[in-house]
Amino acid sequence: MVQLILIALSPLASELYQREGYYGELWYQFSAAQLSSSGESPADEAFNNYEYRFVIRSRGKSDSALVAGVRTVPAGTGTRSAGSVTDYLPVNTYPGEFDYRLMIRTGLDTLVAEGELTIPPDTLPFSLSDLMLGVKNFSEKFSTRGINFVPRVVSEYSRFDTLLAWMEIYGLTPDSQFFVSAVQIVDGSGKVPVRKTQKRLKHEPAQAETVSVGLLDLGPGRYRLEWEVTDPANHNRASVSHPFEIKAGMLDEKLMVYYHDIRYLVSNNEYRRFQKMSEPEQEIFLNSFWIRNDYWEFARRVEAADEYFSNRTLRGRDSERGRYYLKNGPPDEIEKVALSEWARPFELWYYTAAGYDVLFCDTKEDNNPVLIRILKPGELTTILEMGLRKGDEGDWLNEIAPGTFTGDRKNEDE
């Protein structure tokens, strides 16, 4: 396990996370306001450059390594929470004690972070990587190991955040189909306000896992997230933890632009009752509602719906596709069929894990497909290839292909 001690506080924050063996990643974060455009033309001004220089030295040995270079980020880059640039440098070394120095040169300043780390000599057959904490919301665009996750190098959160934890598990045995994941949050007095235990499927001997925890019902203070993994095949057990802090007043509802837009998630009757509440009653209701629901996942869906389903007269979130997307999340796959001689444009959304398909059709050919029917997996393909079974109601097919299936019903028992 890497032990990191920051020697001096600076506008450049860093933390090194140990992976399998002697590989680690030095993650760093600094304010995007430190960047200045380096381009000489309007096209170039869409990007900013910064220089980095990383030196690591072994204690007790005259051994050191230097990595330097230039990185480019889009102008205006940064996360919702901190307006920051976040990235990492890979660190491959051998067991021992080391000092490091990271220097970032921006267009405005030179930022420095120094620290020390210890690499243990042995790696256990069953082990966990260091625990990384981040935030789950629609504006985080970074991807780590194929998972949409970016660490928050400075582990400070608002109670309106959804904390996202990430780690890797090494040495899972194939003798059982699952392992047990136990996550808990411990407060400063030792109480455990949050505990999650679940069985998780094994995919590979080494695999990445994430867990999200809403912080809305936790007050300001210092906490520790603890994650324990047990492999029942051989009773191996390992645990890892990471501290974090919830700060008062770090974020308020004014920055949660969809905080009151619960009409997309509740029934019409429930929303009418909400509208008739007094303002204090609405705040109590909303506080309880967002404890039970993931605000940042909802916000991400709103942004995606507006991006993919909007047209010149309608916001994507208000379309039938958008409303379905907000309530049910993204499908595993979308198949689009363009206008043809036999059918209007339609889309088939495959919710494979849930076991159903959803058919939308652009019945008015106005780039606003409407919900036609919820189907069993493969049902539409079977109908198109084999025709309707005796007793099936086929009027809905006329919505996508007027007249094509009239009177053309087959009995699959014949």
Per-residue pLDDT of 228-237, as tens digits, reads: 999 998 889 9
Backbone angles phi, psi at 379, to 5 degrees: -65, -45
Backbone angles phi, psi at 183, to 5 degrees: -120, 135
Dihedral angle over CA of 96, 99, 104, 109, nearest 10: 170
What pTM was computed for the model? 0.57
CATH number attached to the domain at 1-123: 2.60.40
User: What's 317's DSSP letter?
Assistant: G
Band of the pLDDT at 11, cuts 50, 70, 90? confident
Question: Of 136-145, 177-186, 240-249, 380-389, which has the strongest mean pLDDT?
Answer: 177-186
Q: Which CATH class is domain 124-251?
A: mainly beta
d(CA 204, CA 207): 6
Stronger pLDDT, 61 or 272, i.e. the higher one: 272
d(CA 183, CA 200): 12
Please tell me if the domain spanning 1-123 has the same topology as the one spanning 124-251. yes
Is residue 361 over pLDDT 80?
A: yes
User: What's 252's DSSP letter?
Assistant: -
Helix (H) or strand (E) segment spanning residue 386: helix 379-386
CB atoms within 10 A of CB 249: 8
Q: Residue ranges per domain, the chain? A: 1-123, 124-251, 253-314, 331-400
d(CA 195, CA 226): 9
> Contact 240/260 with Cβ under 8 angstroms?
no
Share above pLDDT 90 across residues of the chain, in percent, rounded to a whole number: 35
